[in-house]
Amino acid sequence: MADAAVDKGSNAILIVGAGLSGMQSALLLAQRGHAVYLLDEAPGIGGSLHLLDRTFPTDSCGLCISSPTNATYCPSIECSLHPNITPLPLSELLHLDGAPGRFQARIRRNPRYVNVERCNLCGDCAAVCPVTRPHAHEGNLAPQKAIYAPPPRAVPNAYVIDMTACIRCGKCVAACPTQAINLDEQATEQTLDVGAVILSPGFSPFDARRKGEFGFGVLSNVVTSIQFERMVSPPGSTKGKLVRPSDGKTPKRIAFIQCVGSRDQTVGREYCSSICCMYTAKQARAALESQPDAEITVFTMDIRTFGKGYERYWESVRQEGIRFRRAMVSKAKQHPKTGHVALNYVSEGGEPKEEEFDLIVLAVGLEPLESARKLAERIGLGVNAYGFGEAGEFAPVASARPGVFVVGCYLEPKDIPDTVAEAAAAAAHAAQTASQP
Ligand code: SF4
Ligand code: SF4
Ligand code: SF4
């Protein structure tokens, strides 16, 4: 493997995880003159933000308002354009040696198999690729080839090959008009000298299959909130149209079930995921906009709207005619002919009820990423009982290792405003720890 030492001096900062918090810290540090390495294991920077059609409580797309400077731009694009930020997609932090102000970070850069400068996004490669598999970014509700384009606004905007799916037939190589594809590209390693490190690897959505009573993965008309978000997104799996996966019909009676994989001892997730009440309200409104005669019911234990403007947002959604039922759903079953899904629950008055819907949306909670737990282990950090990263009680972005700061949903579920505030705190600490530019 090639070993290229890169030395930008110890004013450089390494950020591991290029989602919202990582991008926010990167932009603040870059504006202060620090060299920033923005690393992510994904093919592009942007993280989970690229899944979102819009954000609450403003119903804006959210990519522009999180920027600390010109609100016109998307933070992914700003990060890619800033001369002080070096995006490192498809990369992993292997080891971290040294001390605050003088760390040596050993990283691996995994192959993309497509030359970013040469790729013109023509799509000829994907057109001839014989491998089709479920599109993970679209919640597996759309097909994707083994060679594919990252989500819109991800940076760099160039095709990439998933070698776990590729059969190395070579058809894409022959079809590419710019000779951009190299199936033999190898991983490389390099050492970065950095003054401080910020960990912001993000979260994973709860795997709804673990709540077998709702039938996710078995009943076709039970989808997760991530799948629903991509459905109502114009570039998403159904190009913004609401459809039932079983037959492509437009669903009229839609039920949302909250707290799936949160506040639930049976799956070891006793905590509240803090964002799903609000994103359910947002998605319920999106469903009504897409289909004004839809009948929307939200099954909830209680509503937690704690942020600025959240209660007003929820109340305005409620007044649009969305029905909130305070009940815990115990079972879902799908009729084999009609595709309708019957939900069993106990009403607030204690009566057992059964009600039928066309589509069920599970508001899944957030849980720690397995890859983030392994990363913490590799660099000598612990995780809490749930597997989230740990920070000091009175130093909320300081890890147990001096000079390494932790931020965002890596620590616990949180919304965008809290994430942005925390990212700024981590950037300030990292700037103090590294030498001055
Ligand atoms: S055919 Fe080549 S240039 Fe066109 S999208 Fe594929 S890799 Fe890029
Ligand atoms: S080599 Fe891989 S990515 Fe290229 S066309 Fe064949 S299967 Fe698809
Ligand atoms: S935010 Fe709402 S839906 Fe999510 S876990 Fe908390 S109470 Fe349940």
- State the ligand closest to the CA atom of 364: 3
Nearest Cα residue to atom 5 of ligand 2: 129
Residues 6+ apart with CB under 8 A from 60: 54
Top mutation candidate among 118, 119, 157, 162 for ligand 1, by most atoms within 8 Å of CB: 119
Q: Would you say the C-alpha torsion 92, 94, 100, 103 has a positive or negative sign?
A: negative
* Digit-coded pLDDT (tens) for 190-237: 999 999 999 999 999 999 999 999 999 999 999 999 999 888 887 777
Residue 348 has a pLDDT of: 86
Domain 111-185: CATH architecture, name and number where available:
2-Layer Sandwich (3.30)
pLDDT tens readout for residues 309-361: 889 999 998 899 899 999 999 999 999 999 999 999 998 888 999 999 999 99
CB 252 within 8 A of CB 295: yes
* C-alpha–C-alpha distance, residues 433 and 145, integer Å: 44
ipTM of the assembly?
0.93
Within the chain, which residue ranges are assigned CATH 3.30.70.20? 111-185
Asked whether the predicted pLDDT for residue 379 surpasses 70, the reply is: yes
Q: Are 361 and 279 in contact (CB under 8 A)?
A: no
Of 118, 122, 160, the one to substitute when testing ligand 1's pocket (max ligand atoms within 8 A of C-beta) is 122
- Residue 138 CB-half CA count within 13 A: 25
**Does ligand 2 lie within 6 Å of residue 160's CB atom?**
no
Cα 409 to middle of ligand 2, angstroms: 35
Residue bearing the CA closest to ligand 1, atom 4: 122
In CATH terms, 13-110+187-202+369-433 corresponds, of 3.30.429.10, 3.40.50.720, 3.40.50.300, 3.50.50.60, to 3.50.50.60
Q: Range(s) for CATH 3.50.50.60 in the chain?
A: 13-110+187-202+369-433, 207-365
- Residue range 207-365, CATH number: 3.50.50.60
